[in-house]
Amino acid sequence: MTRGFYWRLWTVILVALAAWTIIWPSIPRIAPPWITRLVSARMNLGLDIRGGARLSYDVQIGMAVAQRRDHAIEGIRDQLARDLNLHRGTGRLTEEASEQLARRVTVRRSEIDNRELTIRFVSPADASRVTRAFLGDRGLMERSRSGGTIVAALRQQDVEDLERSSVSEAVRRIENRIDELAVKETSITARGETIVVEVPGSDRAYFDNVQDIIRRTAHLEFRLLADSSTVLEKFQTGGEWAPRLPAGVTVEVETGVSAGQRADESVIQASPLYFRTQGREGLRTLREFLRTIRSDIPDTYDVLVGEDDTEARRTQAVVPAERKVWRTYTVEHIANVTGDMIQSADVATRSDTNQPNVSLTFKADGTRAFAQVTTDNVRKRFAIVLDDLVMSTPVINEPIRGGSAQITLGGGDYRTQMREASDLVVVLRAGALPAPLSEGTMDFIGPTLGRDTIRSALTAALVGIGLVMLFMAIWYGPSGLIANGAVVLNLFIQLAAIAAIGATLTLPGFAGLALTVGMAVDSNVLINERIKEELRAGKGLRAAVDAGYEHAFTAIFDGHVTTFISGVILLQYGTGPIKGFAVMLLVGIVANLFTGVFATRVVFDWLVRGLRIKKLSLG
């Protein structure tokens, strides 16, 4: 035997062992714990086989772009305040400095283009301070300049980079949240700006919980409450906005709770507004409506809402959606501390009230920022804001330098608060999404359909493969058994490849598997028939085997290449089930060439060169 033979023999053995090693952990009943820990690859079955839910989300990239622009606006305001000698040091702008700056220059975001902003100086001479380098340092480019007015926008390349990174980062954060939930065998894929999440199972309530956790942006901020702000007074007294309230939102005048039963409103904030909404959609509508009055509010403030939980705390029960009341909070526009500064988040319980809350530990930069802002604002209130919704407004009684904080949840029973705390910890640990997600569709495939489809698919595939292997064994005898061994190895390689690359095996994938097995058998039929022709021509077995493989290879290779090209086209332009079929087809073609030509040739060479047999039944 030649050195080349042993090289080919060990290649086949190693490929077979690798394929089994990858498949083994996906067979729970026979896989020992050590192999499941050692090998992370698993065979993922599609929802059309096992049942589950397919959730789709669209990444609102425009909001990520707008956030980047708003961050640039704050940088411009801070720098101009220093350049105009209105503010010194590296700290945040004081309210006095902000008011002085507003009398000399305004920096406004565009309501039409989320990339654009306008800088307008009262004195045109001050506009010279805004140079191209000034804008470039903040990722901006100048679009136009006229007198004291400058129009700038985010650089196009930066916007495109942000769009690409927003989707990939959203996929990573969703994967982190799924991992925190310990949801196994979940498929997460991105298709343009749409993210598709496939979750196995049959519990609708479980799917709803997963969906709620995925869609939460989890953008956590600590903002100072503008306790003395009266920016909403004209809305409180004028009432000109009331007729424009959208459906599902009403002004709350009588809440059923007296002023004495509420928290001390005069301390929390002047002139709050109260609204009643109908369910989650009503809250979303209310928040969108409040954004429409943004132009009437100074740039240094934002108006947010939080649940008025007075009734929930009084009754210790969950308030139905149709009875929820929301109140407004005026907060500073810039966050003092953000979720990016959080090191860890855990569920904790207060010893005095046994109330669940979320305990936070900050990173080094968060610890410094939290200590600084609590030192500068003793006796003032923080607004803890999650996804633009005010969770609580604690008083800063003293400087907090230990690098930790707590988020107190709304009212309700203990079980509800504990569930809310656990869900919040999941999203905070996984990190905030780079942009909000808008829900697309939720498609369900019931477990009964899943059992029926997998039974039918497996039956069809096994019957088809079994009949083909039976035919080969009967018609070609020992050489047919060699072909059947190649078919088994072929199946192992295909399934291992699907597990290794993280692809999902769907019903169309089963169809592709059965098709490629048929192609593998066809390759062995061509080889056997060519060997028989050479034997009839008077050649010896060894020479007939060499000639048979040599002459059959061209036809086998040409047929597989043309099919491979078709598979590439299906993979490129197909969607959903077509892609599943195409993936299995491409993997199967590569496995066919290896097992049908390479592996079987090793066996034949061992018979005619190693054992030196002179005769072999070929049917």
Question: Residue 39 falls within a domain, yes or no?
Answer: yes
46-50, 79-83, 216-220: least confidently modelled range: 46-50
Check: CB of residue 520 under 8 Å from CB of residue 592.
yes
pLDDT at position 17 over 80? yes
Distances (CA, A) of 507 to 187, 454, 577, 578: 16, 8, 8, 10
pLDDT at position 404 over 60? yes
User: With bands split at pLDDT 50, 70 and 90, how would you rate the model's confidence at 263?
Assistant: very low
Going by the DSSP 8-state scheme, the letter that residue 593 receives in this structure is: I
Looking at the structure, tell me whether residues 9 and 75 fall in a common domain.
no
Residue 316, amino acid: Q
User: With bands split at pLDDT 50, 70 and 90, how would you rate the model's confidence at 143?
Assistant: very high
- Domain containing residue 252: CATH number: 3.30.1360.200
- What whole-number distance in Å separates Cα of residue 353 and Cα of residue 421? 15
Check: CB of residue 540 under 8 Å from CB of residue 615.
no
Check: CB of residue 147 under 8 Å from CB of residue 119.
no
- What whole-number distance in Å separates Cα of residue 249 and Cα of residue 290? 11
Which two structure tokens, joined as six digits, stand for 617? Answer: 């039944």
Q: Which of 115-119, 247-251, 381-385, 425-429 has the highest mean pLDDT?
A: 115-119
The sheet with strand 105-109 has its strands ordered as 105-109, 116-121, 149-154, 140-146
H or E stretch at 442: strand 437-445
Three-state SS string over 218-230 comes to CCEEEEEECCCCC
Strands 52-59 and 194-200: antiparallel
User: With bands split at pLDDT 50, 70 and 90, how would you rate the model's confidence at 256?
Assistant: very low
Domain with 268 in it = 216-412
Write down the pLDDT at residue 129. 92
39-53, 58-72, 377-391, 604-618: least confidently modelled range: 39-53
Looking at the structure, tell me whether residues 402 and 345 fall in a common domain.
yes
Write down the pLDDT at residue 266. 41
The sheet with strand 382-386 has its strands ordered as 249-251, 274-277, 325-332, 301-307, 389-392, 382-386, 220-224, 337-338
How do residues 366-388 score in pLDDT, each as one tens digit?
898 889 888 888 888 888 888 88
- Cβ-based neighbours of 66, under 8 Å, separated by 6 or more: 109, 114
Write down the pLDDT at residue 133. 92
In this structure, is the dihedral angle defined by the CA atoms of residues 551, 552, 555 and 556, taken in order, positive or negative?
Answer: negative
- Cβ-based neighbours of 270, under 8 Å, separated by 6 or more: 227, 228, 229, 230, 233
208 compared with 588, residue with greater pLDDT: 588
User: With bands split at pLDDT 50, 70 and 90, how would you rate the model's confidence at 555?
Assistant: confident
- Domain containing residue 36: CATH number: 1.20.1640.10
Which two structure tokens, joined as six digits, stand for 292? Answer: 């429409």
- DSSP codes, 219-287: -EEEEEB-TT--TTHHHHHH-TTGGGPPTTEEE-S--SS-GGGS--HHHH-SS--EEEE-HHHHHHHHH
Write down the pLDDT at residue 115. 92
Strands 389-392 and 301-307: parallel
Looking at the structure, tell me whether residues 438 and 453 fall in a common domain.
no
Looking at the structure, tell me whether residues 29 and 57 fall in a common domain.
no
Write down the pLDDT at residue 151. 95
Write down the pLDDT at residue 260. 40
Looking at the structure, tell me whether residues 330 and 185 fall in a common domain.
no
Write down the pLDDT at residue 377. 84
| Helical spans, DSSP H, in 377-477 | 414-430, 447-476
| Token pair 């054992």: residue | 611
Percent of the chain with pLDDT over 70: 84
Looking at the structure, tell me whether residues 451 and 559 fall in a common domain.
yes
pLDDT at position 447 over 80? no
| Token pair 């598709």: residue | 196
- What whole-number distance in Å separates Cα of residue 279 and Cα of residue 321? 5
How do residues 499-531 score in pLDDT, each as one tens digit?
887 777 777 777 788 788 778 888 888 888 888
Question: Residue 427 falls within a domain, yes or no?
Answer: no
Query: Taking residues 148-174, what's their average pLDDT?
Result: 89
| Token pair 């498929």: residue | 187
276 compared with 218, residue with greater pLDDT: 276
Q: Within 10 Å of residue 29's Cβ, how many Cβ atoms?
A: 4
Residue 302 pairs with which residues in a beta bridge?
331
Question: Residue 153 falls within a domain, yes or no?
Answer: yes
Looking at the structure, tell me whether residues 19 and 69 fall in a common domain.
no
The candidate with the shortest Cα–Cα distance to 100, out of 118, 83, 124, is: 83
Q: Residue 87: CA atoms inside 13 Å, Cβ hemisphere, count?
A: 20
The candidate with the shortest Cα–Cα distance to 400, out of 369, 424, 425, is: 369
Distances (CA, A) of 613 to 309, 526, 540, 541, 607: 88, 22, 10, 8, 6
Coil, strand, or helix at residue 92?
coil
Question: Residue 302 falls within a domain, yes or no?
Answer: yes
- What whole-number distance in Å separates Cα of residue 473 and Cα of residue 595? 17
Question: Residue 421 falls within a domain, yes or no?
Answer: no
Percent of the chain with pLDDT over 90: 9
Query: Taking residues 31-35, what's their average pLDDT?
Result: 81
Report the predicted TM-score, pTM, of the whole model to 2 decimal places.
Answer: 0.56
The count of structural domains within the chain is 3
Query: Taking residues 147-158, what's their average pLDDT?
Result: 93
H or E stretch at 443: strand 437-445
Which two structure tokens, joined as six digits, stand for 115? Answer: 């990339």
Question: Residue 172 falls within a domain, yes or no?
Answer: yes
Query: Taking residues 597-604, what's their average pLDDT?
Result: 88
Looking at the structure, tell me whether residues 230 and 135 fall in a common domain.
no
Counted residue by residue, the chain has a size of 619
pLDDT at position 130 over 90? yes
Radius of gyration for the alpha carbons in the chain, expressed in angstroms and rounded = 34
Write down the pLDDT at residue 547. 87
387 compared with 493, residue with greater pLDDT: 493
Looking at the structure, tell me whether residues 406 and 450 fall in a common domain.
no
Write down the pLDDT at residue 254. 45
How confident is the prediction for the chain on average, in pLDDT? 80
101-115, 158-172, 173-187, 563-577: least confidently modelled range: 173-187
Write down the pLDDT at residue 136. 92
54 compared with 411, residue with greater pLDDT: 54
pLDDT at position 215 over 90? no
User: With bands split at pLDDT 50, 70 and 90, how would you rate the model's confidence at 258?
Assistant: very low
pLDDT at position 126 over 50? yes
Query: Taking residues 396-409, what's their average pLDDT?
Result: 83
Question: Residue 559 falls within a domain, yes or no?
Answer: yes
Cα 55–Cα 24–Cα 456 angle in degrees, nearest 5? 55
User: With bands split at pLDDT 50, 70 and 90, how would you rate the model's confidence at 337?
Assistant: confident
103 compared with 184, residue with greater pLDDT: 103
Write down the pLDDT at residue 390. 87
Looking at the structure, tell me whether residues 307 and 456 fall in a common domain.
no
151-155, 161-165, 578-582: least confidently modelled range: 578-582
pLDDT at position 261 over 50? no
- What whole-number distance in Å separates Cα of residue 499 and Cα of residue 495? 6
Going by the DSSP 8-state scheme, the letter that residue 318 receives in this structure is: P
User: With bands split at pLDDT 50, 70 and 90, how would you rate the model's confidence at 234?
Assistant: low
Looking at the structure, tell me whether residues 77 and 137 fall in a common domain.
yes
Crossing angle of helices 204-215 and 156-181, in 10° steps, is: 140
Write down the pLDDT at residue 120. 95
User: With bands split at pLDDT 50, 70 and 90, how would you rate the model's confidence at 41?
Assistant: confident
493 compared with 454, residue with greater pLDDT: 493
41 compared with 171, residue with greater pLDDT: 171
Q: Within 10 Å of residue 388's Cβ, how many Cβ atoms?
A: 16
Question: What is the distance, to the nearest Å, from the Cα of residue 455 to the centroid of all Cα atoms in its chain?
Answer: 32
Query: Taking residues 22-31, what's their average pLDDT?
Result: 81
Question: Residue 398 falls within a domain, yes or no?
Answer: yes
- Cβ-based neighbours of 34, under 8 Å, separated by 6 or more: none
Residue 550, amino acid: E
Residue 437, amino acid: L
- Cβ-based neighbours of 14, under 8 Å, separated by 6 or more: none
pLDDT at position 152 over 90? yes
Looking at the structure, tell me whether residues 520 and 580 fall in a common domain.
yes
pLDDT at position 182 over 70? no
